[in-house]
Chain A
Amino acid sequence: MGILKTFALGGVHPEENKLSANAAIETLPPPKQAIVPLGQNLGAPSKPLVKKGDKVKVGQLIAEAGGFISTNIHSPVSGTVLKIDNVIDGTGFKRPGVVINVEGDEWDEGIDRSDEIVSDISLNPQEIVDRIKQAGLVGMGGATFPTYVKLMPPPGKTAEYLIINGVECEPYLTSDHRLMLEKSQEVIIGTRLLMKALKVEKAIIGIENNKQDAINHLSQLTKSIDGITVMALKVKYPQGGEKQLIKAAVNREVPSGKLPIEVGCVVQNVGTAFSVYEAVQKNKPLFERVVSVTGKDIKKPSNFMARVGTPIQQLLDAAEGVPENTGKIIGGGPMMGKAITSPEVPVVKGTSGILLMKKEESSRKTTGPCIRCSRCSTVCPMGLEPYLLTKASKLGKYDIAEKEMIMDCIECGSCQFTCPASIPLLDFLRLGKGKVGHIMRNRNKK
């Protein structure tokens, strides 16, 4: 197979631990009560369209986009709206959400619920984008950026490549892997739809080498399709980062502070491609997704097709409970995920996995002094100097942090992962990034 491609700078090799890789996707029943937060995407929260006491059906629009970078939200269940109130989210903060008491499972008539695969593409590019916008699609990799915005290149820019992100470089998570194996037809049709919407001729499905079965399976299926190639990539974290994937797949570098469209690329997740298929061909809005529930001690590592709004507790129960010595419940993967404060919080559009970490592996080690080993600079995939940025952000020297390109940090956590002194580098990078971003936005306002 020759030498496998990967990105040039930095990167780390965390233990893969893909425990749920062989667990087929199980469909979870709808919850008894669905909690649907209104802020499920990057950008502005959505505006609710229903009120207390309203009857809703599965797939009914319950909140509309609250701005350009915002999305529609559809009811994941059928039942009665109990209240529109502040609900607790993964961080413990209370944010507005719709609580629906579930009664039966009655779907909106417009949704095609048959298993038949619709492979003919009849819509024109604009119609495809409109459908995607209507269905409230967001990037399913975890960043939850509204998909339709990415499909509308700014004037003067054209896309050359569509890159489908099947890398799934985060340890433990397997939701994309299972989708590529079980819903491969749908993913490929979704890719073709995205190609048509973007008017590109070439699409690359990038998959890391540790998912050999997915690579073989998709290669076989795409043999007869012009333009789509499946590319095996060398295993390295954080290859799933947009900029890293572009570098690995087409050897182009996205300029600092710019979007991938600058180098003629658009990156979409495998999960997004699958949702695009469902939204466009089956008229099914985004209200359920694949969530990996995994962890070293968990009895049954699984992949669930769960409705948005399902309490995480229900997923944990379906995976046969929380093991005794669980230290942390993490929403997302071990590298970039965040610990959640309560198992009562719901699954949202961006929940790619639930990871239960053992007490001994989840607790932080004692921080030591920096020994100037420069490992953090070596592994940074963006070529930054994490220690310098950490120091600048700790001391409040945000001007230095800005000059040293803190805004280019992708928060992958490679630096903190590799630090022999266990310094919380990422914590301070995130803090500094937030502060510098705030300062920059205020400056631009003036």
Chain B
Amino acid sequence: MDNIIIIAVAALGGLGLVAAVVLYFIASKFKVIEDPKIDEVEEALPAANCGGCGSPGCRAFAEATVVSAKEKKSLDGLFCPVGGNDVMQIVGSILNLEVTTQAPLIAVIRCNGSHANTPAKVKYEGASSCAFAHALFAGEGGCQYSCLSEGDCVDACDFDAIHMNPETGLPVVNDKCTACGACVEACPRDIIELRKKGPKDRRIFVSCINQEKGGPAKKNCAVACIGCSKCEKECKFDAITITNFLAYIDFEKCTLCRKCVEVCPTNAIHEINFKPRKPRPEKAPGAVPRKPVPKVAQPDKPVTMETETETAVAEKVEKKESPDNGKA
């Protein structure tokens, strides 16, 4: 009985010993020498694996930074948009390199074709996917450049930074945006652009990508850029260029003077996070109210009312208690 136990222990122990020796030599032969800095850099990264930097994940980005540091002695072209400058400083200190700070970016929606501004002419009932809707038709409002409101950008966002506003049918970007660019990729119409966040989060951009001539563009959408080039003339810094009846503001040159916003006849240029202007306080930041109706048009109103039946007019006048100065 004892014999069997000894044989079994010896046989298994011997087998284990042989395997250990073999494994030891194999392990030392095929040892992968990896720069410990890769691990350190990876530790410093946000671990979002979003791909916003262009590498397929944080580990790959860490490898790329270490290789670049070794070969080029710089981190040019490598930037983690999610971590931003803080993380890049840490990465730089690990690799003993100077890191140039970059202005943080944010996604902006270059379409203001809300339900009110771009009234729907047709109804879409197909699959809830922008990519599919884009392949199928121009859009409910008729503008072939407009937002399709099916939310591919919302699905693409890993950071909970973009949401659909059910009232307008347009996506809204919040502070959580890391400028990873996933929504830019997802949008089949290239509506979303990454722009500089700007000082105090203030930025100005043309919220339209319609390249049609003014007339057809305006026909479908009240707030389309019509390419009138008023803003181009107004801008003293050559920041605005017009191509294909569409204005584009270069955010490198823009000084946020807001002059273009004032002259835009269709309110296509948006200003975000600015304090309300003193002479015209009705212009709330972000929101785009229609331009007030010109004063000349005012006397027309009662005239059109007179074409209706007299009782109806009387009722309306009573209800509104309007001073009916137009009739005089």
Contact = CB atoms under 8 A, between A and B. Distances in A.
A427 B138 CA distance: 16
A53 interface: no
27 contacts: A86-B216, A91-B136, A91-B137, A91-B138, A92-B122, A92-B138, A92-B142, A92-B144, A93-B137, A93-B138, A94-B138, A94-B144, A339-B122, A341-B121, A341-B122, A341-B138, A342-B121, A342-B122, A363-B125, A427-B126, A427-B129, A428-B129, A428-B132, A430-B132, A431-B127, A431-B135, A435-B131
B142 A86 contact: no
Contacts of B132: 427-428, 430-431
Interface residues of B, number: 17
Interface in A410-446: 424, 427-428, 430-431, 434-435
Contacts of B121: 341-342
Contacts of A364: 125
Contacts of B216: 86, 94
A338 B133 CA distance: 12
Contacts of B158: none
B113 interface: no
Interface string B129-153: 1011001111100101000000000
Interface of B: 121-122, 125-127, 129, 131-132, 135-139, 142, 144, 212, 216
A91 B138 CA distance: 6
Nearest to B144: A93
Nearest to B136: A91
A186 B126 CA distance: 41
A222 to B, nearest CB: 41
Interface in A338-365: 338-339, 341-342, 363-364
A339 B126 CA distance: 11
A427 B137 CA distance: 13
A339 B216 CA distance: 22
A94 B212 CA distance: 9
Contacts of A338: 136
Contacts of A394: 129
Given A430-B135, A431-B129, 13 more contacts: A91-B138, A92-B138, A92-B144, A93-B137, A341-B137, A342-B121, A363-B125, A364-B125, A424-B126, A424-B127, A427-B127, A428-B129, A430-B132
A91 to B, nearest CB: 4
A92 B138 CA distance: 5
Contacts of B129: 394, 427-428, 431
B122 to A, nearest CB: 5
Given A92-B137, A338-B136, A428 B125 contact: no
Interface of A: 86, 91-94, 338-339, 341-342, 363-364, 394, 424, 427-428, 430-431, 434-435
A341 B138 CA distance: 9
Contacts of B144: 92-94
Closest 3 CB pairs of A and B: A92-B138, A427-B127, A431-B132
A43 to B, nearest CB: 17
A429 to B, nearest CB: 10
A338 B137 CA distance: 10
Given A94-B144, A94-B216, A341-B121, A431 B139 contact: no
A424 B132 CA distance: 11
Nearest to A329: B122
A182 B64 CA distance: 72
Contacts of B142: 92, 341
Contacts of A91: 136-138
Nearest to A431: B132
A386 B125 CA distance: 20
A340 to B, nearest CB: 9
A338 B132 CA distance: 13
Most buried by A among B127, B129, B136, B137: B127
Contacts of A339: 122, 137
A116 B319 CA distance: 75
A71 B129 CA distance: 33
Residue among A92, A427, A435 having the largest count of chain B Cβ atoms under 10 Å: A92
A181 to B, nearest CB: 35
A93 B126 CA distance: 17
Contacts of A428: 127, 129, 132
A363 B131 CA distance: 21
A428 B121 CA distance: 24
A95 to B, nearest CB: 10
Given A92-B144, A427-B126, A86 B212 contact: yes
A344 to B, nearest CB: 11
B145 to A, nearest CB: 10
Contacts of A92: 122, 137-139, 142, 144
Contacts of A430: 132, 135
A259 B212 CA distance: 39
Nearest to A94: B144
Contacts of A363: 125
A439 B148 CA distance: 24
A16 B4 CA distance: 84
Nearest to A394: B129
Contacts of A342: 121-122
Contacts of B212: 86, 94
B289 to A, nearest CB: 28
A148 to B, nearest CB: 28
B133 to A, nearest CB: 9
A341 B129 CA distance: 19
A206 B136 CA distance: 32
Interface-centre pick from B121, B132, B139 (highest chain A CB count, 10 A): B132
Contacts of A435: 131
Contacts of B138: 91-94, 341
Contacts of B126: 424, 427
A177 B138 CA distance: 33
A202 B212 CA distance: 52
Contacts of A94: 138, 144, 212, 216
A223 B144 CA distance: 54
A394 B129 CA distance: 9
Contacts of A427: 126-127, 129, 132
B153 to A, nearest CB: 14
A428 B132 CA distance: 7
A363 B142 CA distance: 20
A91 B121 CA distance: 12
Nearest to A92: B138
Contacts of B127: 424, 427-428, 431
B143 to A, nearest CB: 9
Contacts of A431: 127, 129, 131-132, 135
